[in-house]
Chains A and B, each alone.
Chain A
Amino acid sequence: MAPVADRPRPGDPLDPDAAISVRGLVKRYGDFVAVDGLDLDIRRGEIFALLGPNGAGKTTTVEICEGYRSRDAGEVRVLGEDPADGARAWKARLGIVLQSGSGDSQLTVRELVTAQASYFADPRDVDEVLALVGLTEKAGLRGRTLSGGQRRRLDVALGIVGRPTLLFLDEPTTGFDPEARRQFWSLIRSLRDLGTTMLLTTHYLDEAEALADRVGVIARGKLVEVAVPSALGGRETAPATVTWTEDGARRTEATSTPTAFVADLATRFDGEVPDLAVTRPTLEDVYLQMIGDDR
C-alpha cells in the first residue's frame, strides 16, 4: 500500500512524478463554480477513490484530467502532459470508463473489444480481456442487447484492452449485483498488481474502502480531505462507542479507551457483559459528517 502523505497545498509546484497532478483547478459553468481551487496528486501505481455527493465536482474534475473538458484556471498534468493538448500517443496510455458508458451498438461484444483494440499500439488479447471482465460467454451478443451490468463490464473491457498505464473509472459498478461487484473488485486488484494506476469515483463507500489505497472527499468543488480509508476523518483515533444492557436498559458510553472500559465492565458484571458491542465510526459516518454542510 502506498505510504500516507498529506495532500498538496495551494501554491505547491506540480509533482512531476505523479500520475496525475492538479493545482488550483477551477471550472465554472456560467455562475456555478463546479470546481473551486482543487489541489490533488495521484501517485503512480495507486488506486485513488474520489468520493463526493452529486454535483460536488467529481466528474468535472475527472473529465478535465481525461481531456474532455477545458478548465478556467489552474494547472493539470496527467502522465506528465497537459490534457488540454493530449495527443494520440498520450491517449494511448489512458483507459477511460465514462459514467455515460460507450454507447449502443449492433456489433457483438467481441467485435467491439476487437475494434477498440485496433486503436492501440500494444493491446491486450481480446479473449483474455473478455475472460477478465466475465463476458466470455456473452462474446457473441450484440452490444445493445446486454443488461445494465453486462454493459458496464463491456465498458470496463473497452477501458482496459489498450493496456493503459492510467485507468479512469467513473462510477464503474453502478447497476452491478453484489456478486458482480465482488468480481469487479478482484479484477481491479489484479490490474493494480500489474502496476495500473487508477482514479475511481464511486458512490459506494464500501467499494472505496475495499479498493482504494487513498480516498479523497470532494465537496462544493474542493478537496476537503485525503487519507487512507481507515484514517479518513480521524476515524482510527475517534472515540469508540461501547453499548451493553444493564438493569433491563440499553446503556451507551463513548470512550477513547474502550479496552480498559470493557475490562471494568467485565469486573463489575463478574463475567459476560449482556449485549456488549464496541463500535467505531464507519466510513459512511465520517463521510456524511464531512459533506454534511452540503445537505
Chain B
Amino acid sequence: MTATRESTQLPSLASVYRSRSSVELKEFFRQRESVVFTLLLPVLLLVVFGAVLDFDLGSGVSFTQYFMAGIIAAGILGASLQNMAINIATERSDGTLKHLAGTPMPRSAFFVGKVVQVLAVTLASIVVLLLIGVVFYRIDLPSGTDWLTFAWVAVLGASACTLLGIAISSIAKNGRSASATVTPFALLLQFISGVFFQFSEIPSWMQTFAALFPLKWMAQGLRSVFLPDVLAADEPAGSWELGRVALVLGIWCVLGLILCVRTFRWQDR
C-alpha cells in the first residue's frame, strides 16, 4: 500500500466530464425500468396508435404521419423532463448527490453528465421511433432544411425540459413521489398538446392552457418537419409559427435555469 501524499494537480475538467458522462450513460441504460418507461413506452404508443388511427387527414397525409411528430415530442419530454425529475429526486433521497458533493468533483461535471445522458436517450428515442415509423408505417422522412428545423426544435425542447425536470426534482420528496407527480402531468400535457389527437380538434381553452407549456410548441415545431406545408393552414394560427416556437422554448430555458439555480439541493432538507 502506498503512503498518504498531499495532492498535486487536480484532474482536468475534460477528464472528469468524460468520467461522469460514462457513469450517467451506464446508470440509465442498465436500469430496465427507465429504459422500458422512457424508450419503449413511446414505441408501444406509436405501434398501437399507428395501427388503430390510420385515417387520412386530407392532402393524402395519414394520421400516423401527424402522430409521428407528436410522439417524438413526447419521447423528448420523457427523455428529458420526466427522466431528470425522477432520476435526480431518486439520487437526492438515496444519498448519491450528498456523496458527490463531498468529493472534489467539479459541480459542473454532474450537470454535464446529466446533459450527455439526456442527449443520448433523446437521440436513441428519436432513432427508434423513426425506424419503426419508416419500416412499419411508411412515414415520409423529412428532407432538406426540415432536418435543420428538426435538430433545433429537438435540442431547444430537450434543453428547456431538462432544466424544468431538474427544477421539479427539487420539489419532490423522493423518486417515487416525483414519478407520481410528473407522470400524470406529462400524460395530461400529451393529451392536450396535440400528441394523441389533432391539436385543432381540442377545445380552445385547452389549447390556451397547453400553449403555456413547452410540449405543445415542440409538437408544433416537429409537425412543420413531418407534414407538408399545406397543412399549416389547420394550425390555430394558420401557420407553423416557428419563430414563436423558438421564443417560447427559449423563455422556458431561461425560466428553467433560474428555477434550477434557485432550488437545486445536494441533500435532503
Q: Do A and B come from one complex?
A: yes
A residues touching B (Cβ–Cβ < 8 Å)? 66-68, 88-89, 91-94, 96, 98, 100-107, 111, 115-116, 118-122, 124-125, 128, 132, 142, 158, 162-165, 190, 194-196
Known contacts A93-B6, A106-B31, A121-B8; A88/B95 CB under 8 A: no
Known contacts A101-B95, A103-B94, A121-B10; A163/B102 CB under 8 A: no
Subset of 14 A-B contacts with CB under 8 Å: A91-B103, A102-B99, A103-B95, A105-B27, A105-B96, A118-B16, A119-B16, A119-B104, A121-B7, A128-B1, A128-B2, A132-B1, A162-B104, A165-B6
Q: How many inter-chain residue pairs (CB < 8 Å) link A and B?
A: 109
Residues of B near A93 (CB, < 8 A) are: 6-7
User: Is A163 within 8 A of B95, CB to CB?
Assistant: no
Give the contacts of B213-269 with A (CB-CB under 8 A): 267
User: Is A119 within 8 A of B1, CB to CB?
Assistant: no
Known contacts A107-B26, A120-B104; A100/B10 CB under 8 A: no
Quick check: is B3 within 8 A (CB to CB) of the other chain? yes
Closest Cβ of chain B to A126, distance in Å, is 13
Give the contacts of B159-218 with A (CB-CB under 8 A): none
The distance in angstroms between the C-alpha atoms of A93 and B22, with both chains bound, is 25
User: Is B96 within 8 A of A94, CB to CB?
Assistant: no
Residues of B near A116 (CB, < 8 A) are: 103
Residues of B near A132 (CB, < 8 A) are: 1
Tally of contact residues, B, Cβ under 8 A? 36
Smallest CB gap from B102: residue in A = A96
Smallest CB gap from A155: residue in B = B99
User: Is A89 within 8 A of B104, CB to CB?
Assistant: yes
Closest Cβ of chain B to A46, distance in Å, is 14
The one of A68, A115, A125, A190 that contacts B101, using a Cβ cutoff of 8 Å: A68
Quick check: is B23 within 8 A (CB to CB) of the other chain? yes
User: Is B30 within 8 A of A98, CB to CB?
Assistant: no
Closest Cβ of chain A to B180, distance in Å, is 19
Smallest CB gap from A158: residue in B = B99
Closest Cβ of chain B to A157, distance in Å, is 12
Please provide the 8 A-B residue pairs with the shortest distance between their CB atoms, ordered closest to farther. A103-B96, A118-B19, A106-B30, A121-B7, A102-B99, A92-B104, A96-B102, A91-B104
Smallest CB gap from A87: residue in B = B104
User: Is B10 within 8 A of A102, CB to CB?
Assistant: no
Smallest CB gap from A118: residue in B = B19
User: Is A165 within 8 A of B91, CB to CB?
Assistant: no
The distance in angstroms between the C-alpha atoms of A67 and B267, with both chains bound, is 12
Residues of B near A142 (CB, < 8 A) are: 30
Known contacts A89-B104, A91-B103, A162-B104; A120/B98 CB under 8 A: no
Known contacts A89-B104, A100-B98, A158-B99; A121/B23 CB under 8 A: no
Closest Cβ of chain B to A190, distance in Å, is 6
Known contacts A89-B10, A98-B99, A120-B11; A163/B27 CB under 8 A: no
The one of B94, B104, B267 that contacts A104, using a Cβ cutoff of 8 Å: B94
The distance in angstroms between the C-alpha atoms of A106 and B105, with both chains bound, is 20
Closest Cβ of chain B to A94, distance in Å, is 7
Known contacts A105-B27, A106-B26, A106-B30; A163/B99 CB under 8 A: no
Residues of A near B99 (CB, < 8 A) are: 96, 98, 101-103, 158
Known contacts A93-B6, A120-B7, A194-B3; A98/B96 CB under 8 A: no
User: Is A196 within 8 A of B4, CB to CB?
Assistant: yes
The one of B9, B22, B23, B95 that contacts A102, using a Cβ cutoff of 8 Å: B95
Residues of B near A102 (CB, < 8 A) are: 95-96, 99
User: Is B98 within 8 A of A121, CB to CB?
Assistant: no
User: Is A94 within 8 A of B102, CB to CB?
Assistant: yes
Closest Cβ of chain A to B111, distance in Å, is 15
The distance in angstroms between the C-alpha atoms of A53 and B103, with both chains bound, is 28
Known contacts A103-B91, A103-B99, A119-B105; A164/B8 CB under 8 A: no
User: Is A195 within 8 A of B4, CB to CB?
Assistant: yes
Closest Cβ of chain A to B173, distance in Å, is 15
